[in-house]
Amino acid sequence: MTSHHDTGAKTVAEVGEFGLIRAVNENRRQPSSTLLGPGDDAALIATPDGRVVASTDVLVQGVHFRLDWSTPEQVGRKAVAVNLADVAAMGAVPTSVLVGLACPGDTPAAMITELADGMWAEAAAAGAGLVGGDTVQADQLMISVTALGDLRGRDPVTRAGARPGDIVAVCGRLGWAAAGLAVLHRGFRSPVSVVNAQRFPEPPYAAGPAAAEAGATAMIDVSDGLIADLGHIAEASEVGIDIRTDALDISHRLIEVGTALGADPLRWVLTGGEDHALAAAFPPFAELPEGWRRIGSVTMPGSGLTVDGEPYHDEGGWEHWR
């Protein structure tokens, strides 16, 4: 639901901090887990499980998003999605998000309300509410989102439980966001389905709790690249992992884009981040939940991360400050 507060053509400085807060929060619906939402010193969230899963990410303009590539609404969706995907990767059901927003005073207030529209929409898509946050002045646009989730009585699925012989599986798209980034860097804006994958991801939120219910032994959100993130599971679990390329889903659209750009779509699938698919290990005879597909196996300690049985020597994914 879009805010009906009239910000007109005003800047955030003209609207003021509290006017902006009213503009982004009025006429919004909260899920039943929100006992007290925005407007007080802190929010109150129901935690029937007695434990809270929490994750936070910071998005900086020019590093994580560009407003000449994405609309504010798309940026808002992305900011929430990347955090809620982490909650789902623990096997939890998303419940709520808190947002910290920093921007210059001459930022159009309408841009911030559009950003908020995207945040509210993505939170609602995951069954969560936007329950509070903070706004401050800064030299550039920065968004910090903290996401909370409920385990509903299940144990959390960490990165450290994979065992030799386990199945490695993924749920969600791989390589699409990297392909979209390559298209945007070339100055193009189509194909839209590929470019939009970079503008805002579509994490399979329900797949995390489903994997936990099916007995997943380890799980991770694929944010930095399949090889990099499965490498985190291998390291935390003290095992090896082998990926089979013939089991990877490389769509015809990625092949078409790769051919047009002279790029290898397999590399996008193996090393491209920001799709926020989920990757997990399951016991050998587990029945994979709907949407999950096997792409490899957990191997013995010391065997490392391999692709078709061989070490992968290219860069495995994104890492800040590198």
Buried b (16+ CB within 10 A) or exposed e, 155-190: eebbbebbeeebbbbbbbbbbbbbbbbbbbeeeeee
> So what's the pLDDT on residue 240?
97
Distance, in Å, from the CA atom of 42 to the CA atom of 21, rounded to the nearest integer, reads: 14
Distance, in Å, from the CA atom of 318 to the CA atom of 198, rounded to the nearest integer, reads: 14
Look at residues 40, 5, 41 and name the one whose alpha carbon lies nearest to residue 25: 5
Give domain status of residue 253, yes or no.
Answer: yes
Residues 20 and 141 grouped into a single domain: yes
Share of the chain above pLDDT 70, in %: 95
* Of 27-41, 53-67, 139-153, 243-257, minimum mean pLDDT range: 27-41
**Mean per-residue pLDDT of the chain:** 92
The answer, yes or no, to whether residue 142 has pLDDT greater than 80, is yes
Q: Which residues are annotated as a binding site for Mg(2+)?
A: 41, 55-57, 86, 134, 221, 224
In total, how many domains does the chain have?
2
Residues 245 and 284 grouped into a single domain: yes
Give domain status of residue 177, yes or no.
Answer: yes
Residues 183 and 291 grouped into a single domain: yes
**CATH code of residue 207:** 3.90.650.10
Give domain status of residue 161, yes or no.
Answer: no
Give 6's pLDDT tier (boundaries 50, 70, 90): low
Give domain status of residue 269, yes or no.
Answer: yes
Give domain status of residue 55, yes or no.
Answer: yes
Residues 127 and 178 grouped into a single domain: no
Residues 98 and 130 grouped into a single domain: yes
> So what's the pLDDT on residue 29?
85
> So what's the pLDDT on residue 317?
54
**CATH code of residue 49:** 3.30.1330.10
Bridge-based pairing state of the strands 93-103 and 142-150:
antiparallel
Q: Which of 150, 182, 215 corresponds to the end of one domain? A: 150
pTM: 0.90
> So what's the pLDDT on residue 315?
65
Distance, in Å, from the CA atom of 115 to the CA atom of 190, rounded to the nearest integer, reads: 23
Distance, in Å, from the CA atom of 288 to the CA atom of 169, rounded to the nearest integer, reads: 8
Give domain status of residue 133, yes or no.
Answer: yes
Q: Which residues are annotated as a binding site for substrate?
A: 64, 274, 318
Phi (first) and psi of residue 149, to 5 degrees: -150, 165
Residues 286 and 195 grouped into a single domain: yes
Distance, in Å, from the CA atom of 89 to the CA atom of 69, rounded to the nearest integer, reads: 28
Non-local CB neighbours of 137 within 8 Å, separated by 6+ positions: 102, 103, 104, 105
Residues 172 and 66 grouped into a single domain: no
Residues 139 and 188 grouped into a single domain: no
The answer, yes or no, to whether residue 105 has pLDDT greater than 70, is yes
Q: Which residues are annotated as a binding site for ATP?
A: 133-134, 159, 223
Give domain status of residue 24, yes or no.
Answer: yes
262 Ramachandran zone, left/alpha/beta (phi>0; psi -120 to 50): left
CA distances from 17 to 22, 104, 105 (A): 9, 12, 10
240 lies in which domain range?
167-311
> So what's the pLDDT on residue 5?
52
Give domain status of residue 74, yes or no.
Answer: yes
**E strands in the chain:** 34-36, 44-45, 53-60, 93-103, 129-137, 142-150, 167-171, 218-222, 240-243, 277-282, 293-299, 305-307, 310-311
The answer, yes or no, to whether residue 2 has pLDDT greater than 80, is no
> So what's the pLDDT on residue 164?
98
Look at residues 157, 80, 145 and name the one whose alpha carbon lies nearest to residue 117: 80
Residues 137 and 210 grouped into a single domain: no
Residues 146 and 186 grouped into a single domain: no
Please write the tens of the pLDDT for every residue from 272-313.
999 999 999 999 999 999 999 999 999 999 999 999 999 987
Residues 71 and 204 grouped into a single domain: no
Q: Which residues are annotated as a binding site?
A: 41, 55-57, 64, 86, 133-134, 159, 221, 223-224, 274, 318
Structure tokens at 185: 């860097």
Non-local CB neighbours of 50 within 8 Å, separated by 6+ positions: none
Residues 292 and 191 grouped into a single domain: yes
Q: Which of 98, 115, 150 corresponds to the end of one domain? A: 150
Q: Which of 121, 150, 179 corresponds to the end of one domain? A: 150
Where do runs of H (alpha helix) occur along 172-222? Answer: 176-185, 192-199, 207-213
Please write the tens of the pLDDT for every residue from 17-47.
777 778 777 878 888 898 998 888 888 999 8
Please write the tens of the pLDDT for every residue from 45-59.
998 899 999 999 999
Burial class, 50, CB count within 10 angstroms (exposed 0-12 / middle 13-18 / buried 19+) = exposed
